[in-house]
């Protein structure tokens, strides 16, 4: 593969006043500020614990940390925006003070949470609902002029895994994301990242089909986030629990890199960064 066509699309975003290139893949570390996330709920149950987890991730090579203060696992109960903010803001404050160089993404579908988080120093909004669960989200992101991660989800966290159905999952997710990207651009949002939403309203077969077809999504000309870390598609395939899915996750991450992923959203930063570095070395020799 010619070096000048690697890791396309070529994008540089202004994130928190810094120019961040997506010409080479980045690792995003997941920090769940909730007691009930599917893999590591409760690990970051205090701002001090979350800070230690963030420091470890940054030392292992994460350039972005993604803070989530409301569980979005299948069947999770929704929490109010106020409850989400009460969990989020103390940790956001301490991370901004202690790790000023790190890019902070906020995993939320509430526009009010997004706005308060950005006002308090966050940089990116990561919305699992693609603006579907809060009609004010797109306008809020446009007004704040911040990067936005647009994810596809069929249904809601309460319903998404009850009976996900598609005629052609890759076609439907592609056209959905394309339509939403166009809506955002009309509003003036230019720094957009797409996420096909592995595990969000998809069966394991849907997830593997999306991964197989991931390179197609580079046609949209914007960075792709792959969130495959310890997902149930692996647990169901091998009959294992999330805590035993690290090796399989690394395999999926490598396949996602080969198909054009720009960001790996992971629980295990060290292993993801190693996959990125090996892939870069094999392809570009450095």
- What region, left, alpha or beta, does residue 10 occupy, with left being phi > 0 and alpha being psi -120 to 50 degrees? beta
Q: What is the DSSP letter of 14?
A: E
Active-site hit among 180, 202, 230, 265: 265
C-alpha torsion angle, residues 207, 213, 216, 217 (rounded to 10):
10
Q: How far apart are CA 282 and CA 59, in angstroms?
A: 24
C-alpha torsion angle, residues 131, 132, 133, 136 (rounded to 10):
50
* Phi, then psi, of 4 in degrees rounded to 5: -75, -5
Cβ atoms of residues 252 and 228 within 8 Å: yes
Distances (CA, A) of 147 to 42, 124, 180, 267: 28, 5, 14, 22
Active-site hit among 180, 230, 231, 259: 231
Question: Quick count: other Cβ atoms within 10 Å of Cβ 57?
Answer: 28
Distances (CA, A) of 165 to 29, 98, 157: 30, 45, 15
Active site residue 280: no
Identify the residue whose tokens are 């392809």.
283
Q: How far apart are CA 276 and CA 286, in angstroms?
A: 11
Active site residue 265: yes
Q: Residues with catalytic annotation? A: 231, 265
């Amino acid at each position: 593969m010619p070096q000048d066509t690697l890791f396309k699309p070529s994008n540089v975003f202004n994130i928190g006043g810094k120019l961040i290139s997506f010409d080479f893949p980045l690792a995003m570390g997941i920090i769940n500020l909730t007691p009930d996330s599917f893999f590591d709920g409760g690990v970051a149950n205090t701002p001090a614990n979350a800070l230690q987890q963030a420091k470890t991730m940054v030392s292992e090579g994460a350039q972005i940390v993604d803070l989530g203060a409301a569980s979005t696992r299948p069947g999770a109960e929704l929490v109010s925006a106020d409850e989400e903010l009460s969990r989020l803001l103390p940790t956001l404050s301490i991370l901004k003070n202690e790790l000023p160089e790190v890019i902070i993404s906020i995993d939320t579908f509430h526009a009010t949470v997004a706005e308060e988080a950005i006002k308090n120093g966050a940089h990116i909004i990561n919305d699992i609902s693609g603006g579907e669960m809060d009609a004010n989200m797109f306008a809020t992101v446009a007004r704040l002029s911040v990067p936005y991660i647009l994810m596809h989800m069929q249904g809601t966290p309460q319903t998404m895994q009850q009976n996900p159905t598609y005629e052609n999952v890759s076609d439907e997710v592609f056209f959905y994301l394309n339509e939403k990207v166009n809506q955002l651009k009309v509003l003036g949002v230019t720094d957009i990242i797409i996420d096909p939403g592995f595990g969000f309203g998809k069966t394991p077969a849907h997830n593997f089909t999306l991964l197989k077809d991931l390179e197609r999504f580079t046609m949209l000309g914007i960075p792709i986030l792959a969130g495959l870390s310890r997902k149930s598609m692996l647990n169901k395939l091998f009959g294992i629990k999330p805590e035993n899915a690290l090796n399989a996750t690394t395999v999926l991450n490598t396949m996602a890199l080969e198909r054009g992923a720009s960001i790996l959203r992971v629980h295990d930063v060290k292993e993801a960064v190693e996959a990125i570095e090996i892939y870069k070395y094999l392809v570009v020799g450095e």
